[in-house]
Chains A and B, each alone.
Chain A
């Protein structure tokens, strides 16, 4: 149990589908992150939320839409994706600000776009 739970673990979707990824953390953190991990590429930061407010959008295409209803939950809504969006999507949390607080990751959602 990592303290950060992601569902589903695996998702296969067509390019015209709409789906959502869910992340929940039980660590009392107030900062949450979405990362994308593609084969043979470094982790790419997608979005950052601090105290439910989006503070970073790393030039992510609009077909990815994040939502943070509270400090414990983070969603990534997906629509009209492309095959190159197939990747492992990782959620992470930490205490925000410049304090010494490590990132804690979930186990990710393996997304395949057909």
Chain B
């Protein structure tokens, strides 16, 4: 059974710092991996989707990497800003492409 773990559970950093959020999964037979952001009381906003054949994806200050063999993905946020404060979740897609398993998320707070 696929399990997704995100470390750390919470993180507080000063503005301007570069940071890395971690996501690990137990079954390397995944199809895609997707990173989301969730603001309090809101739904999830898609940040990056990495196909299983890819190693990384970039969007602005965000860079996500995927290492299927080790069951890991990282989300790198450069030059963090207070507006980046949110919960970040990763989700892996099973090989059928229909089911997603989510991690519990990392709650990020960027101090001004």
Instruction: Identify the A interface with B (CB < 8 A).
Output: 2, 4, 6, 31, 40-43, 45, 48, 50, 55-56, 90, 92, 96-100, 102-108, 110
Contact = CB atoms under 8 A, between A and B. Distances in A.
B43 A107 contact: yes
Interface of B: 4, 31-32, 34, 36, 41-46, 49, 51, 89, 91, 96-105
Given A102-B34, A103-B34, A48 B99 contact: yes
Contacts, number: 62
A45 B36 CA distance: 16
A97 B97 contact: yes
Given A98-B97, A100-B49, A107-B43, 17 more contacts: A2-B45, A4-B43, A42-B101, A42-B105, A43-B44, A43-B89, A43-B91, A48-B99, A56-B98, A90-B44, A92-B44, A97-B97, A100-B51, A103-B34, A103-B44, A105-B46, A107-B41
